[in-house]
Structure 1
Amino acid sequence: MPEELLQGEVYRRVQGLQRRLQAEGITAALLTQSADILYYSGTCQSGHLYIPAEGEPVFMVRRDYEQARLTAALKNVVPLRRFGEIPGILSGFGLPVPEVLGCECDVLPVSIYLRYQKLFPGTRFVDVSGFIRQQRAVKSPYEIEILAESGRRLDQMLATVPRVAEVGRTEVEMAGLLEGEARRLGHQGLVRFRGMNYDFFMGHLLTGPSGAAPSSFDGPVSGLGLDPSFAFGAGWRRLKADEPLYVDYGFAYRGYITDATRVFVIGELSGRLARAHAVALEIQAAVLEAVRPGVTGGALYELAVAMARKADLADNFQGWRQPVRFIGHGVGLELNELPVLAAGVEETLAPGMVFALEPKFVFPGEGAVGIENTVVVTANGVERLTNFPDGIYQLR
């Protein structure tokens, strides 16, 4: 991408945060989380990004300074040898000691927070993570263009499932082959997930009952993994005929993630699973039809729950032992961004928001079925970014 285009994009983001800081009476924000650094600088190097309410940001880079100097879209990029140099560096740029300093309190380690307090003993610290997440929820045309390409590559990835699926193969073998195809297509490997202990891999490929095995992951479907050390995703179970092959992956391209789920089968699914999948498609269609700027995430969730209840499938909707109470989540630089389509959410949708809608049904002892697609909110509704066919894909 041309350097001037990235610089313009980054400075629009910085200015958006600065307007919010000014409105809230916050002197500056001091950011260190990787996704936020990437969003407001254009690069992902380790350091501390100081964004004053007015004026030029200062990116103090621990490592690698030379890479940051070459790739950051900001003017003030300096090396940081020791943590204690931060106040002196800021003073050298004519920036006063902040009276009120904003931090990413949702993800900032307490140890770093306490060190910030020692550096600025007279400063009042506030949480600006909500402002950042709200700003990042609405994507620019530049971001939507990258997300659209991410979605196209995710479609290509799903199209390779028939080549890797085979009765008798283990989940982890099929997952490895599929993930190799993803890397060949340009998947960056890392799927960022905001929050503590939200360990996440590229996605999960699960067979039959594995799709109904709940674990610590906060989603409708999880899988037990290879062992309890990381209870997530593909395990050692082998694919059988006439059972669901559940494939749920994100595709991370140039930092931006799209998310999709499809169900495949070698043979034919039972009537109950096939019917539940058909209901999931009906829920998807109804929710997407209802999406408009101004509608709340809570209203869309209640619409989906009502349809599951009407189909007499409420007990299996979004999980079975501990069902989650959401049907959609924002995506972007991280997999769990705003907006959230969940119970009680009063925040409204706006044009430019991008989310993954995932109505699913889980049956203990049988597996999981359902659908997931990434969409962008427009002035009149939605536009899909993932377009691999939605129906149950019969392999052979």
Structure 2
Amino acid sequence: MDSYEQITPAVELQDRVTAFQESLRQDGVDGALIVQKTDLFYFAATAQQGWLYVPAAGAPILMIFKEFERAQAESTLEDIVSLGSPKKIPDIIRERGHQLPARLGMELDVLPVNLYRQFDSIFTDSTIVDVSTAIRLIRAVKSPYEIQLLRNAAACSDAVAGKVPELLREGRTEIELAGELEAYARSLGHQGIVRMRLWGSELFYGHLMAGPAAAVPSYLASPTGGAGVNPMIGQGPGFRKIQKNEPVLVDYVFALNGYLSDHSRIFAIGALPDELMRAHAAMLEIQEEVKRFAVPGAISGEIYEQMVASAEEKGYGEWFMGAGERRIRFTGHGVGLELDEFPFLAKGQQLPLTEGMIIALEPKVILPGKGVVGIENTHLVTASGLEPLTKMEDEIVILAG
């Protein structure tokens, strides 16, 4: 399909802008300037370089630096203009009959300091305030249109994991297997780029690692790390050869038409030790518990605490979601256009779940020197609990040795 044909419906953009404008008015913000690429796509349906001004009331203005014609083809917003410099933004706002905002909202969670200073010098009479949390809360609840796109991505996640038995063989390196699996994902339409919001976070498709290598920690905000191909990357598959009787973790993100599905499965060539099989079964039990009590109104941090308590009761508290003092303090996260969206099932988080939220739930056990077992599925929050969008069997896939 031509990229120009993948157009977000106009009514979808209107609903998103309307929700944001209501939030701006409630917070006493006169207008917001959107510059971050993912937020720009969410509200304008294009990732072309530019700026989106959303007044607290009235039509948004999409100002494009590069490429204007593509932005016109991709976005259904009515007011799209070509603009060569952000210094002209105040003039464009005034030409549309708006007063310059006394309080200007920007995404201060991701805006570099130098860019902040630039906009502060352009909007000399405005106070710049943070609207990033408001944007992320709006994006956390998906529309039916978005949910269908997420279902499509989840189906591709299942297809990629289903390809593993065809490619997995003893003696292959992790990176060799990853390359072939990623090529298959690309053939299904994987966009390649996996966007993350947290500063310094990055991911290339995901993690494919075997045995002790999967339990090597890294800087990434993830229960798994991996050695990677070099210290500059410091995560993911490396050159270690896959062996019999060890768990092979395939933890991949499928990115389709902007939307992400996060998915982990465990494979093995030959039988695994009973210790690992029992640990995996315990993680599946925790997943089933959460699927029942993660209903609308449940508090994200309380779900995290329940999962931690359940892991401790089952004897895995020391290795749940990592090993050692620096193991991560979350058990699930929202997904959508980015991999680290609201809500977070994390220590201290107080966000109530809402129907339409999407959560990647990932109870895992990390056993240093042995490997990783556990599960990750992308779920939709419904009135009765979590509905898995990824459908592949959760049990460990054992291949003949």
Q: What's the TM-score, normalizing by structure 1?
A: 0.98
Q: Secondary structure at the match of 1:230?
A: coil
Equivalent position of 2:315 in the other structure: 312
Name the CA distance, whole Å, in 2 between partners of 1:110 and 1:2. Answer: 36
Name the CA distance, whole Å, in 1 between partners of 2:303 and 2:118. Answer: 43
> CA offset at residue 384 of structure 1?
1.1
CA contact under 8 A between 1:212 and 1:365: conserved in structure 2? yes
Q: Write out per-residue CA displacement over residues 92-121 of structure 1, whole angstroms, 9 at most, x where no aligned residue.
A: 222221110000000011111111111111
- The letter of the residue matching 1:107 is V
> CA offset at residue 218 of structure 1?
1.0
Residues paired across the two proteins, number: 396
Match of 1:245 among 224, 237, 248: 248
Equivalent position of 2:17 in the other structure: 14
Match runs of 1:122-133 below 5 Å: 122-133=125-136
1:99 maps onto 2:92 in alignment: no
Distance 1:274 1:41, change over 3 A: same
Equivalent position of 1:270 in the other structure: 273
Match of 1:170 among 162, 173, 178: 173
Distance 1:2 1:55, change over 3 A: farther
Equivalent position of 2:44 in the other structure: 41
Contiguous gaps of at least 5 residues in structure 2: none
Name the CA distance, whole Å, in 2 between partners of 1:284 and 1:192. Answer: 26
Match runs of 1:58-73 below 5 Å: 58-73=61-76
> CA offset at residue 62 of structure 1?
1.0
Name the CA distance, whole Å, in 2 between partners of 1:115 and 1:299. Answer: 41
Name the CA distance, whole Å, in 2 between partners of 1:3 and 1:332. Answer: 17
CA contact under 8 A between 1:151 and 1:374: conserved in structure 2? yes
Equivalent position of 2:287 in the other structure: 284
Equivalent position of 2:328 in the other structure: 324
CA contact under 8 A between 1:191 and 1:200: conserved in structure 2? yes
- The letter of the residue matching 2:191 is Q
Equivalent position of 1:294 in the other structure: 297
> CA offset at residue 305 of structure 1?
1.1
- The letter of the residue matching 1:160 is K
- The letter of the residue matching 2:228 is G
Q: Write out per-residue CA displacement over residues 276-299 of structure 1, whole angstroms, 9 at most, x where no aligned residue.
A: 001000000011111110001112
Match of 1:385 among 350, 364, 389: 389
Equivalent position of 1:334 in the other structure: 338
Name the CA distance, whole Å, in 2 between partners of 1:4 and 1:365. Answer: 48
Distance 1:191 1:216, change over 3 A: same
Contiguous gaps of at least 5 residues in structure 1: none
> CA offset at residue 4 of structure 1?
9.0
> CA offset at residue 222 of structure 1?
1.2
CA contact under 8 A between 1:26 and 1:53: conserved in structure 2? yes
1:109 maps onto 2:117 in alignment: no
Q: What's the TM-score, normalizing by structure 2?
A: 0.97
CA contact under 8 A between 1:3 and 1:73: conserved in structure 2? no
> CA offset at residue 259 of structure 1?
0.4
Once the two structures are overlaid, the 10-residue window that deviates more, 280-289 or 339-348, is 339-348
Match of 1:156 among 136, 159, 164: 159
> CA offset at residue 90 of structure 1?
1.7
Name the CA distance, whole Å, in 2 between partners of 1:64 and 1:287. Answer: 45
> CA offset at residue 195 of structure 1?
2.2
> CA offset at residue 183 of structure 1?
0.6
Once the two structures are overlaid, the 10-residue window that deviates more, 292-301 or 330-339, is 292-301
Q: Write out per-residue CA displacement over residues 113-140 of structure 1, whole angstroms, 9 at most, x where no aligned residue.
A: 1111111111111100000000000000
Equivalent position of 1:356 in the other structure: 360
Equivalent position of 2:398 in the other structure: 394
What do you get for the CA RMSD once the two structures are aligned? 1.3
Q: Secondary structure at the match of 1:328?
A: strand
Name the CA distance, whole Å, in 2 between partners of 1:143 and 1:5. Answer: 10
Q: Write out per-residue CA displacement over residues 176-205 of structure 1, whole angstroms, 9 at most, x where no aligned residue.
A: 000001011111111110021112111010
Equivalent position of 1:343 in the other structure: 347
Name the CA distance, whole Å, in 2 between partners of 1:325 and 1:197. Answer: 18
Name the CA distance, whole Å, in 2 between partners of 1:382 and 1:368. Answer: 24
Q: Secondary structure at the match of 2:81?
A: strand
Q: Which runs of 4+ in 1 moved over 4 A?
A: 1-5
Name the CA distance, whole Å, in 2 between partners of 1:235 and 1:271. Answer: 26
CA contact under 8 A between 2:335 and 2:359: conserved in structure 1? yes
